[in-house]
Structure 1
Amino acid sequence: MSNPGESDPTPITSARQLAEWFAAGSKPRHQWRIGTEHEKFGFRLTDLAPPPYEPDGIRAMLEGLTRFGWEPILDRGNPIGLKRGQASVSLEPGGQFELSGAPLATMHEAAAELAEHLEEVRAVAAPLGLGFAPLGFHPIATREQMPWMPKGRYAIMREYMPRVGHMGLDMMLRTCTVQVNLDFGDEADMVEKLRVSLALQPLATALFANSPFAEGKVNGYRTLRGKVWTDTDPDRTGIPSVVFEDGFGFDRFAAWVLDVPMYFIMRDGQWIDAAGMSFRAFLEGRAEKLKDYSATMGDWADHVTTVFTDVRLKRFLEMRGADAGAPSFLNALPAFWVGLIYDDAAQKAARALTKGWSVAEIRALREAVPKDGLTATIGGRSLLDVARDVLAIARGGLVARGFDEAGFLDPLDAVVATGQTQADRWLDRCATAWGGDVGKVLGEAAV
C-alpha cells in the first residue's frame, strides 16, 4: 500500500470529473514506462521473529536508509516511508518493506534499481541483525506475532477487515507481492490491456506461486497468498465483471468504483474513519460519518488506492496477482507483462488467446490456482500448457521492443520446462535438506 500523497483539494462537482481522473493517465507510446513494486518480510537473524517498529526494527531501517539520500515521510511524527526522486519506500501493515520504483524506460533500468535497493537494504539491515526475505506469505509467524506499523489508515482498515472477510488481516500482515505499473495509450487501449491482464492474472499467480508454508508447516497451497485474496473483501477484490461488458471504459469503471465502500478520508494530516460508506453516498451527502465534509479529488485518489482488484486501474494499470519471490522473479514479473502489453502484436495475440474465456471461467480459474497451480485448467487446457503459449507471446513482445529484455523471462521458462514453481522447489527443500524445518526458508530466501 502506498504512502499518503499530496491531497488535491479540488471539489468534485460532477461524476464526469472522476472518469476524467482516470483518462488523464493516457500517454503516447514514447512516454510509456515500467514501475515495479515489491515487498519483503523482515526477520531477526537470531530467532527469525518479525522485527517490531522499534527498537532496532523497522524505524531504524527507515532512518538508516536516509544516508543514501532518502527523505522521510512522517505520520504523526513517525517515519513510515521514504522518498527519493520518483521512487519511494513504504510499509505494509506488518512491517513488510516495499520499494515502489520510479517509472523507468527499460527492464535493464528496473533491474538496476532493484539491485541498488537490495544493496542499500543489506547495508542497513546487517548491523541491526536483520534479514529480508521476499515470500508470498509469512512462513512461520502467526497473525498475533506480527507487529502493526503506526500508520493511521491501517488502524481503520484493521477494524473494518474482519467485518467483510475472514483473511483480510492476513492479507495486511502476512502477505508480500511483486507488482508492475504499466501505461496505456487511450481509452480503447486501456480497455484491451485491462481485459488481457485480468484474464491472465490467474496464470501469473500460478507462475509466481511462492507461499507453501504458514506457521511453520506446509499449508496445502502453492500460493496461500492467492487464497487469502479470495476471502478478504468481495466488494473491492477479484475480477470485476464490468470490465468485460460492452461499452466499458473510464466512465463505467468510475461508476463501479463509486459503489466500492470507503475506508477513510484525510483532513489536516488526520485519517477520518469512513469505513463501509460508499463514495457515491459521500458524494451525494448521504454518508453520515462524513456529513461535515465535502468530497474532493484528493479523496477520490485515496479511495482508488483501496480498490484491490487483481488488476487495478489508476492512472496506469497495476498488475497485482503475483507472490513476491527471488530477485530473478522480481524482475521476471514486470518483463512478463511488458512483453504482453507494450507491443501491439503481442497484445493482440494475448487478447485472441483469452477472448473466448468467460468471466465465470476466469473466476473459477482464480479460485483453483492457489491449490492447483499450473495444473488448473481453463477451456480444456492446463495452465502449464497455456503458459507455454503466453510466454512465447511475451518473449516476442520483448524482442520487438528492441532493448534485449527477453532474458528476464528465463526463470519463467524454467518453471514451464520443469513444472516446478518456487513453491514446489521450497517444498522439495523442506522435505529433504531442511528435515521439515520450515524456518530455514527465511535464510535461504533472504536477499
Structure 2
Amino acid sequence: MARDTTDTAPVETVDELVAYLAAGCKPREAWRIGTEHEKIPFYVDGNRPVPYGGDNGIRAVLEAMREKLGWEPILDAGNIIGLVEPTGQGAISLEPGGQFELSGAPLETIHQTCREGNAHLAQLREVAEPLGIRFLGLGASPKWTLAETPRMPKSRYDIMTAYMPKVGRHGLDMMYRTCTIQVNLDFESEADMRRKMQVSLKLQPLATALFANSPFTEGRTNGFQSWRGEIWRDTDNQRAGLLPFCFAADFGFADYVEWALDVPMYFVLREGRYHDVTHVTFRQFMAGALRNSVPDGVPTMGDWANHLSTLFPDVRLKRFLEMRGADGGPWRRICALPAFWVGLLYDPIALDGAEALTRDWSVAEVAAMRDAVPRKGLATPFRGGDLHATARAVLALSRDGLERRARYNADGYDETGFLGPLEEAVARGTTSAEEMVQAFHTRWGGSIEPVFLEYAY
C-alpha cells in the first residue's frame, strides 16, 4: 500500500466493515490486474547498500523519478517516501530496508502489465545509474547483515520495528531484507471471492516453490530455496499464515472481518502523525479503548483500510484479493506471476479445474506443504509424489485459461508465453534458487558478488 488513507467516515458497526469489503465486488468486464514488485537497490561500486539520504541515496532517486514522471510526492514528517500517479494509476513506495516498489495501475492484460514493468525499470535505470545505483531481482537480500541494512524514514515502520521482535523470530528480516512480486485480482460476488480465496490459499505454497529465489543470506547459502518463505513461517502468526477458517464451506466477508477485528493494530493516523496502538485490537478500538489516548480516538473507515493493509496472510482480502506467496525475481517473473494467477482465477473453466484439483486438500496437508516448500521447493512431498507433478497440472490449467482469455498483443501473441519461466523450471526440475546455488558452488567460485551482475535489472 503506497499511501495510508485518511478517510474520516466514522465506523459504528461491524456490518459497515463487512460492507466495506463487499463493495469490492465487480462485474467480470470490470476485472483488472494490479501487479506490485519490489527490488533491492545497491551501489555498483562494491555492491553496497544504499541509504536514504545523501546526494546519491534513495531520496535522490525518488526526487529524480518525481521530476521525470510528474507524480505527486508522498511525504512523512517532511521526508519524501513515495510517489503517486495523480489519477491513482500507480504508485512508488519504499519498504523498510529501501526495497523499491512499484504498485502498478489496474490493467486489463498481462501484455500491459509487462509494458508497465518494462517502462518503470527503464525509467529507474535512467535516473539511478548516474547515481551509481542498480537494483537486484531476488526474494531476499543476499549479502548484508540486518545491521548493515539501511532504514527508511517512515513512521509506521518505526512502530513495526519496535513491535515485530515481540511476536515472532523473523519480523525484522521480513521488513528489511525480503522482496516480493504480488498480483491483486478482483471478484464479482462473495461466492466468487470464496472460491478464489480457497483455491489460491491452497496453491500459494506451490507459487512459493515455483518462484523460489532467495537461497543466500549474508554472503552464503542459507539452506533454503525460498528464505523469504521461511521467514513468513514465524513473523507474526496472529496476522499471517494460512487462515484455516477460510477453508470453511460457508466462508464469507464477515468471517474475515471477525478475524481482522481481533488482530492487534499497528497505528492510527491523525493529522499526519502515526500513533502507536499495538496494545489494542480493532474490536477494542471500536469499544472505545483509544477514546482518551489518541486525538479523535474513534474509528474511521480510513483506520479500517489501514488496518487491513497491516494484515499479512498468504492471500489478503481487501476490496480485491492479493496473492502474496512469491519471491521477487527477474523481469520475466514479474510478468509470470500475474499470468499464473490470472490464467487460474479469471477463466471460469480453469477455476473449476483448480477447484476440483484442490477440493479435498486439507488444512493440515496445505500447512505441511507450506512448512516444507521453503527448503525443498518443487521436491516437496505431496500425496505419494512431489510438487513437480502438481505444478505441471496447475500450469496446464493456467495455460488453458490464458488461451481461452484470448488477449492478444499487436504481434498476435496471447498471454500464455508469460508462463515460460515457470514451465521451464518444471521441465528442468529445478527452481531459480537451485540454479543459483549451483552457480555459487561452480562458476561463481563460492562468491556472492556475481549475483549483482546476473540478477540486476
TM-score scaled by structure 1?
A: 0.98
Aligned to 1:123: 126
Q: Does 1:179 align with 2:182?
A: yes
Q: Structure 2: any 5+ residue segments left out of the alignment?
A: 408-413
Q: Where in structure 1 are there 5+ consecutive unaligned residues?
A: none
In the alignment, the residues of structure 2 paired with residue 75 and residue 285 of structure 1 have an alpha-carbon distance, to the nearest angstrom, of 27
C-alpha root-mean-square deviation of aligned residues, in Å?
Answer: 1.1
Query: Aligned with 1:320: secondary structure?
Result: strand
Q: Is the 8 A contact 1:282 1:290 kept in 2?
A: no
- C-alpha distance in structure 2 between counterparts of 1:109 and 1:59, whole Å: 28
The CA deviation at 1:434 is 1.0
| CA deviation map 1:326-355 (0-9, x unaligned) | 111110000000000000010010011111
Deviation string for 1:53-75 (max 9, x for gaps)? 01111001100112222221111
TM-score of the aligned structures, taking structure 2 as reference length: 0.96
Amino acid at match of 1:239: L
Letter in 2 for 1:30: E
1:260 pairs with 2:263? yes
The Cα of 1:208 is off from its aligned counterpart by 0.2
- Residue 76 of structure 1 is matched in structure 2 by 77
Aligned to 2:12: 13
Residues 341-380 of structure 1: pairs in structure 2 closer than 5 A: 341-380=345-384
AA matched with 2:427: A
One-letter amino acid of the structure 1 residue matched with residue 284 of structure 2: A
Counterpart pick for 2:307 among 285, 300, 303: 303
Matches of 1:289 and 1:211, distance apart in 2: 45
1:407 equivalenced with 2:410 (yes/no): no
Q: Distance in 2 between matches of 1:244 and 1:237?
A: 15
Residue 288 of structure 1 and its aligned partner are, at CA, apart by 8.0
* Residues in 2 aligned to 1:172 and 1:6: alpha-carbon distance in whole angstroms: 21
Q: Write the mapping of 1:48-67 to structure 2, written as runs, cut at 5 A.
A: 48-55=47-54, 56-66=56-66, 67=68
Distance in 1 (CA, whole Å) between partners of 2:443 and 2:128 is: 27
Task: Tell me if the contact between 1:207 and 1:415 (Cα under 8 Å) persists in the aligned partners.
Answer: yes
Mapping of residues 177-326 of structure 1, within 5 Å: 177-286=180-289, 290=293, 293-326=297-330
Query: Take 2:341 and 2:361, find their aligned partners in 1: how far apart are those partners?
Result: 19
Aligned residues: 446
1:112 to 95, 111, 115: 115
User: 1:339 matched to which residue of 2?
Assistant: 343
Aligned-partner Cα distance in 2 for 1:431–1:352: 42
Question: Cα offset for 1:161?
Answer: 0.1
Q: Which residue of 2 aligns with 1:328?
A: 332
Q: Secondary structure at the match of 2:234?
A: coil
> Which residue identity does 1:197 align to in structure 2?
S
How far is 1:244 from its partner? 0.9
Other-structure match for 1:443: 453
What percent of counterpart residues are identical?
53
